[in-house]
Amino acid sequence: MSEFLIETKNLYKYFGKNEVLKGLDIQIKKGEVVVMIGPSGSGKSTFLRCMNLLEAPTKGEVYFEGTNIADKSVDVFSHREKMGMVFQQFNLFPNMTVLNNLILAPVQNKKMIKAEAEKKAKEMLSRVGLEDKVNAYPQSLSGGQQQRVAIARALTMQPDVMLFDEPTSALDPEMVGEVLSIMQELALEGMTMVVVTHEMGFARNVADRVIFMADGVIVEQGTPNQVFDHPQEQRTQDFLSKVL
Ligand code: ADP
Ligand code: MG
């Protein structure tokens, strides 16, 4: 068994002639919090989506818990359910209560019986501070609350890793903090996390490792201190000068 929970090898993704990912080798250890930063269009979302096979890689390997899930013979669903994903747009089902949003996947995938899923769901809702919203509908909640529900929904599946794609970018500024603090708690509890974000304060405080990506390649990576305070590459310096 590899020491890595996730490992991509020589990962390529093309959309037609657009070469979006150009041979990425990224390793993520269990319990590690990796923050990915980089200009818009550099392939961060595509990378996350290739990691859980929402996008099929053009070439290369994606090892998850020792299995190459990019191999066409692998049952990707059984692996993907161990990867929670949280998007910029919360993607809650508007016609379902919060509780039903949370139990849908675990019950449908037959991972849990309904009563067990409800118990787990309520546990996760209280973890994100929304136990009183069990029977609410998504549109009655604020953006920050909806995103916390989306996080609770992903956690109800008891994932081994959480992937976040700009989870606070669609939020009003006053709601960013409540979502980041839930994420920080998760990190402190030891959850393995890959987070694409423009929140540099979060990256600095919570990341074990920061990866700066541009044009489909890793330009530079290291601890927050290395990347933010001592960037080695001109492209990293240029990017940071715009966002810090
Ligand atoms: P980032 O998340 O860093 O902003 P993306 O991964 O969203 O970057 O996009 C990288 C490039 O891939 C962009 O040029 C984008 O237009 C292209 N792209 C992303 N998804 C698709 C898709 N489904 N079909 C075609 N092109 C796509
Ligand atoms: Mg993106």
41-99 pLDDT tens trace:
999 999 999 999 999 999 999 999 999 999 999 999 999 999 999 999 999 999 999 99
Beta-bridge partner residues of 62: 8
Task: Provide the pLDDT for residue 47.
Answer: 98
Nearest by Cα to 155 from 114, 122, 178: 122
Average pLDDT rounded to a whole number, residues 15-35: 98
Establish whether residue 46 lines the binding site of ligand 1, counting it when its CB lies within 6 angstroms of any ligand atom. Answer: yes
Taking the complete model, does pTM exceed 0.95, yes or no? yes
pLDDT of residue 115: 97
- Does 41 sit in the ligand 1 pocket, CB within 6 Å? yes
User: The complex's ipTM?
Assistant: 0.98
How remote is the CA of residue 125 from the centroid of ligand 2, in Å? 27
Question: Given a cut of 70, is residue 165 above it in pLDDT?
Answer: yes
Helix axes 98-108, 114-127, angle to 10 degrees: 130
Spatial neighbors of 210 by CB under 8 A, at least 6 apart, are 34, 35, 36, 37, 203, 221, 222, 223, 224, 226, 227, 228
Residue 18, ligand 1, Cβ within 6 A: yes
What is the C-alpha to C-alpha distance for residues 91 and 243, in angstroms, rounded to an integer? Answer: 27
Q: What is the mean pLDDT of the chain?
A: 97
**Cα gap 36→209, rounded to integer Å:** 9
What per-residue confidence (pLDDT) applies to 207? 98
Distance CA 85, CA 119 (A): 21
